[in-house]
């Protein structure tokens, strides 16, 4: 059996839930941004960066919130609320 995944370019990594959510949101609410990123060959890279930054910031915030006494679920929910609009749910274009 051959593992063909080793032949895929690094930039073809599959997006997780955050990257997929960002792509859907950006395409609907930020079509000019998406077109420009596509034109420059940067869409997938920027989606990956958005999901990585979201995951990293949420992990840090979640720990801080749990140290303050929040449950894991409360901390996760609050971290998402604080981070989501920075990278995933961008404001709609004018």
Q: Is the pLDDT at 39 greater than 60, yes or no? A: yes
The secondary structure of the chain in percent helix, strand, coil, rounded to multiples of 5, reads 75, 0, 25
In this prediction, residue 11 has a pLDDT band, given cuts at 50, 70 and 90, of: very low
Residue with tokens 């990293």: 56
The model's confidence at residue 94, banded by pLDDT at 50, 70 and 90, is confident
- CA gap 13, 21 in Å, rounded: 16
Q: What is the pTM of this model?
A: 0.81
Is-contact 50 18, C-beta < 8 A? yes
Q: Work out the end-to-end distance of the chain between its first and last CA atoms, rounded to an integer number of angstroms.
A: 51
Where on the phi/psi map is residue 71: left (φ > 0), alpha (ψ -120 to 50), or beta?
A: beta
């Amino acid at each position: 059996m051959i593992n063909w995944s080793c032949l895929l370019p690094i930039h073809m990594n599959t997006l997780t839930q955050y990257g997929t959510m960002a792509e859907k949101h950006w395409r609907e609410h930020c079509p000019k941004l998406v077109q420009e990123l596509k034109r420059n060959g940067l869409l997938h890279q920027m989606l990956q960066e958005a999901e990585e930054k979201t995951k990293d910031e949420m992990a840090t915030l979640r720990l801080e919130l749990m140290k303050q006494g929040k449950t894991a679920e409360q901390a996760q929910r609050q971290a998402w609320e604080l981070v989501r609009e920075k990278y995933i749910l961008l404001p709609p274009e004018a």
